[in-house]
Structure 1
Amino acid sequence: MAPDDNNSEHRAFVSLGMFIIDEFSFADEDGKPTGKTVAPQIGGGGTYASIGARIWLPPSQVGMIIDRGHDFPTHIQDALNAYGPDMWHFRDHPNRGTTRALNAYRGEHRGFEYLTPKLRITPRDLMDTKLSHPRVLHFICSPTRAAAIMSEVKQVDDWHPTTVYEPIPDRCVPEELPALQTVLPDISVLSPNAEEALSLLSMPTNPTKQSIEAACSAFLDMGVGPTGGGAVVIRSGAMGACIGLRGSPCTWVEAFWNGEDNADKVVDVTGAGNSFLGGLGAGLVLNKGDVREATAYATVSASFTIEQEGLPHLSQVLDENGQALEVWNGESPHRRLQVLHDRLVAKGTK
């Protein structure tokens, strides 16, 4: 489970997820435009995952490929550079636009559709770039594509990454379970959200802690990881995250913003799951593969993502010794991590 320390000269975390420019439309329940407007903003599961890892790691240790079309906005380029230009490997496409998607809200329901053809990223694309041979590899896709990704990984000499697999939501259906079972032995960490996990297993999709733990155990029994030594982390919103490891009872790490007198902190959950898994990947590297501790890091990453629309804000302050300290949304992630640890200790769950 621990990321390969022999690869320490390579990036700690790389996502194969995509960068997308998100556009928005808003209508009421009857489809009538509300008049609300939101400027296009940075999106994509890979982007949110990379920022989730960046909260804990320097730009030189995180990365993803961004396909940059001829219409790439200057303000978005500047926003990405603010997180550290070394994070990003740009592929320029002068003859096509940047991948865009429409988030169409009708009342509380959100529809999603691509406005331009999407460009998939594979492990082969990482080779011969600064992102090659990362210690943790994150991907979001169908089980069939996950198998193709792992086939490519196995073809690369001297690369044995810890793999963090996030099933794509619309493929979390019972018909995909056989394909998922086929790829699970190659996956280090499987992480659907609660509704996705239950749907895959044909269980009632009204999650409870009991049903989530049952799902966690079911996936473990299917053989996650080589010789069954992988982990399952089911992301469960305000309930927290359920962690399953072979031979141990399921355990939980509670959400940082869990609805107890802090509901106002939850502004927009878009990208929270992706950011969670970026934090998980960083936590695995920083804690020698300790999945439970890594899940605490993941929980803190998600907490910053849900506090506003779009990505969390990075800035610097001076500590008591006059040294520059990175803060996210004005707060130290390490302080939040300590708060979370203290809560878990107080409740006897750590």
Structure 2
Amino acid sequence: MTQTLPAPRFDVLCIGNAIVDVLGRVEDDFIVREGLVKGEMRLVDAGRSAEIYGHLGQVVRMSGGSAGNTAAGVGSLGGTVCYIGKVADDDLGRAYAHDLGHLGIRFATPPLSGGAPTAVCIVLITPDGERTMNTYLGACQSLTTADVEADADAIAGAAITYLEGYLWDPPEAKQAFRRAAEIAHASGRQVAITLSDSFCVDRHRAEFLSLIRTGTVDIVFANEHELKALYETGDIDAAVAALKEDCTIAAVTLGAGGSLALTRDETFHVRAAPVNQVTDLTGAGDLYASGFLYGLARGMPLADCAAIGGLCAAEVITQIGPRPMRSLADLVRQAGYPA
């Protein structure tokens, strides 16, 4: 006899590094002077973070973090969302919690008291819209299994639990990551991971492949660079073929080439949504995941999930910052999809 699952309490539950983004516009020369690699995300200590910040002019500050951005996108689409991530009991941490609450996102992770401050990512945006990120992880590295256990009911009640690949760096967070997947699967729910960036894949390739091949995660999000890094090939077709063998569902973003929605038996190639002006690429992948996850949680066909993801990504790159500034639900409805 097939057991019927209770209706999900949340469409998506996101777990990731809770980071406040500081966004500044710079010229390419600034990247060179600071000894940075354009387009790279690098981890820095508190001193280096303060040094780069001191060399900037006017900046925009907003709550961020990859999975936090995805949570915000799902909320803007009209989905029900929960977020698990660690901030400090400081001004930035309280601002982060306020921002999520304002978006209707449940965020109940207890803040860190007496430890490192809330994480900060300095995002340098060059005229071509490319972003170079310098991240001080601070308090977000202190996420523990206890934080996941405290929200076990929310995980069990979420249609999809979405895990940020960056979270795989701190050992304690890695255990929290695994425990969240166990709770979700024990409740008959799905688990998704984003590979986050190719440098993250290089650090954790074997473990990421194990997560996928053992079924610890059901859904994989990657861009073409991350996917090539995962399978150590320069051939995107070979990487896609390998991913289809390894996982149940995957979404692969191809920039201006659109995206692929994959199962072991099917491949859907969806064109990129048109963009008049690229302002800032920050959050494009995060918001693509928002649209895809929202559609999947609502039972939409995979090609539609990918198309909605593309609409959300196209919208966010026309603005500064990774959080949508207008209703994504309205955007999706205007395109003819249910929201």
Equivalent of residue 201 in structure 2, options 156, 163, 172: 172
| Distance verdict in 2 for CA 1:246–1:109, change over 3 Å | closer
What code does the residue aligned with 1:47 have?
G
Q: What CA distance in whole angstroms lies between the structure 1 residues aligned with 2:113 and 2:103?
A: 25
- The reply to whether residue 243 of structure 1 matches residue 261 of structure 2 is yes
Residue 92 (structure 1) shift: 2.6
Equivalent of residue 292 in structure 1, options 289, 298, 303: 303
Name the structure 1 match of 2:250: 232
Name the structure 1 match of 2:221: 191
Residue 82 (structure 1) shift: 3.1
Q: What CA distance in whole angstroms lies between the structure 2 residues aligned with 1:201 and 1:31?
A: 34
- The reply to whether residue 62 of structure 1 matches residue 81 of structure 2 is yes
- The reply to whether residue 20 of structure 1 matches residue 26 of structure 2 is no
Name the structure 2 match of 1:131: 154
Name the SS of the counterpart of 1:190 in structure 2: strand
User: Normalized against structure 2, the TM-score is what?
Assistant: 0.75
- The reply to whether residue 336 of structure 1 matches residue 332 of structure 2 is no
Contact 1:14 1:62 in 2 (8 A): yes
Residue 165 (structure 1) shift: 1.1
What code does the residue aligned with 2:141 have?
L
Q: What CA distance in whole angstroms lies between the structure 2 residues aligned with 1:80 and 1:156?
A: 23
- The reply to whether residue 112 of structure 1 matches residue 134 of structure 2 is yes
- The reply to whether residue 253 of structure 1 matches residue 265 of structure 2 is no
Contact 1:193 1:235 in 2 (8 A): yes
1:78-135 CA distance string (max 9 Å, x none): 5433312x53224233434222223356886614231634335467534443633122
List gaps (5 residues or longer) in structure 2.
35-53
1:167-204 CA distance string (max 9 Å, x none): 1311323x754433322131221121011111222222
- The reply to whether residue 48 of structure 1 matches residue 69 of structure 2 is yes
Identity %: 16
| Distance verdict in 2 for CA 1:135–1:123, change over 3 Å | farther
Q: What CA distance in whole angstroms lies between the structure 2 residues aligned with 1:304 and 1:7?
A: 34
Name the SS of the counterpart of 1:284 in structure 2: helix
Residue 24 (structure 1) shift: 4.4
Contact 1:216 1:232 in 2 (8 A): no
What code does the residue aligned with 1:93 have?
L
Residue 254 (structure 1) shift: 1.2
Q: Which deviates more, 175-184 or 29-38? A: 29-38
Paired residues for 1:276-315 under 5 Å: 276-287=288-299, 290-310=301-321, 311-314=323-326
Name the structure 1 match of 2:43: none
Q: What CA distance in whole angstroms lies between the structure 2 residues aligned with 1:15 and 1:156?
A: 12
Name the structure 2 match of 1:216: 240
Contact 1:50 1:62 in 2 (8 A): yes
Name the SS of the counterpart of 2:273 in structure 1: coil
Name the SS of the counterpart of 1:191 in structure 2: strand
Q: What CA distance in whole angstroms lies between the structure 2 residues aligned with 1:244 and 1:131?
A: 28
Greater fraction of residues in helix: 2
Q: What CA distance in whole angstroms lies between the structure 2 residues aligned with 1:7 and 1:106?
A: 47
| Distance verdict in 2 for CA 1:156–1:65, change over 3 Å | closer
Q: What CA distance in whole angstroms lies between the structure 2 residues aligned with 1:283 and 1:111?
A: 29
Q: CA RMSD in A?
A: 3.4
Q: What CA distance in whole angstroms lies between the structure 2 residues aligned with 1:140 and 1:90?
A: 16
What code does the residue aligned with 1:286 have?
R
Name the SS of the counterpart of 2:16 in structure 1: coil
Name the SS of the counterpart of 1:15 in structure 2: strand
Name the structure 2 match of 1:89: 108
Q: Which deviates more, 61-70 or 15-24? A: 61-70
Q: What CA distance in whole angstroms lies between the structure 2 residues aligned with 1:75 and 1:268?
A: 23
Contact 1:287 1:294 in 2 (8 A): no
Name the structure 2 match of 1:102: 122
Name the SS of the counterpart of 2:188 in structure 1: coil
Q: What CA distance in whole angstroms lies between the structure 2 residues aligned with 1:292 and 1:162?
A: 19
Equivalences, count:
300
User: Normalized against structure 1, the TM-score is what?
Assistant: 0.73
What code does the residue aligned with 1:132 have?
I
Paired residues for 1:146-161 under 5 Å: 148=175, 149-150=177-178, 153-154=181-182, 158-161=186-189
Name the SS of the counterpart of 1:131 in structure 2: helix
Contact 2:86 2:140 in 1 (8 A): no
Paired residues for 1:69-84 under 5 Å: 69-73=88-92, 79-84=99-104
Q: What CA distance in whole angstroms lies between the structure 2 residues aligned with 1:301 and 1:156?
A: 26
Q: Which deviates more, 302-311 or 126-135? A: 126-135
